[in-house]
Amino acid sequence: GQNIDQPTEMTATEGAIVQINCTYQTSGFNGLFWYQQHAGEAPTFLSYNVLDGLEEKGRFSSFLSRSKGYSYLLLKELQMKDSASYLCAVLDSNYQLIWGAGTKLIIKP
Amino acid sequence: EAQVTQNPRYLITVTGKKLTVTCSQNMNHEYMSWYRQDPGLGLRQIYYSMNVEVTDKGDVPEGYKVSRKEKRNFPLILESPSPNQTSLYFCASSDLERSSYNEQFFGPGTRLTVL
């Protein structure tokens, strides 16, 4: 079966750095997405990785290791508005998105 | 403005009363999809469509129907809603091509309660 694992919840302090991990086992791999979702709102696209390595975009970076079936999202200089759920999703061999359950990130002052 | 719209945003209904949730996108995307989101379960795909008149079942299609008569519209139909279909529903679209990636754009969501 296909499976994506993320921690259910994480807590971090404003101004700090947090790393949200995602491990996956899927039928094929055509890329990995990270989305941000504020409570009651639609998910919004953050990043896409298809090759191994780190992709940096402002305060957010995403890393991928295909051999390990592993990715992480790194958030720097945390702000209160970063409190949200972060969803990891993998595009499988049929180009269907397989979603993780999401990680709820709580930012404390 | 490029967007995906859904209507209604909120709906409370009773068991067995047929309902339709509309979804429309103005980005000329070929791929459209419906998801439901429940606490602790993440996004689960109900149906998707790769193009006009082409629809396929996702992970949880039971109790739902869809149609894709036009490229921009992808309505979700619940013929006989039941309480276990109480959920938050999202429509999404993308210009998905097999040779490249494209992000999915989500509608604002429809919160459905079936009594």
Could you give the dihedral angle defined by the CA atoms of residues B105, B65, B73 and B31, in that order, rounded to the nearest 10 degrees? 40
pLDDT digits over A35-78, tens only? Answer: 999 998 999 999 999 999 999 999 999 999 999 999 999 999 99
Closest partner CB to A87 (pick from B42, B58, B88): B42
Distance of CA A84 to the CA centre of its chain: 12
B43 close to A (CB below 8 A): yes
**What residues in B contact A28, CB-CB < 8 Å?**
none
**What residues in A contact B45, CB-CB < 8 Å?**
96-97
Q: With CB atoms and an 8 Å threshold, state whether A31 touches B48.
A: no
Q: With CB atoms and an 8 Å threshold, state whether B108 touches A42.
A: yes
Element (H, E) at A70: strand A70-75
pLDDT digits over B5-23, tens only? Answer: 999 999 999 999 999 999 9
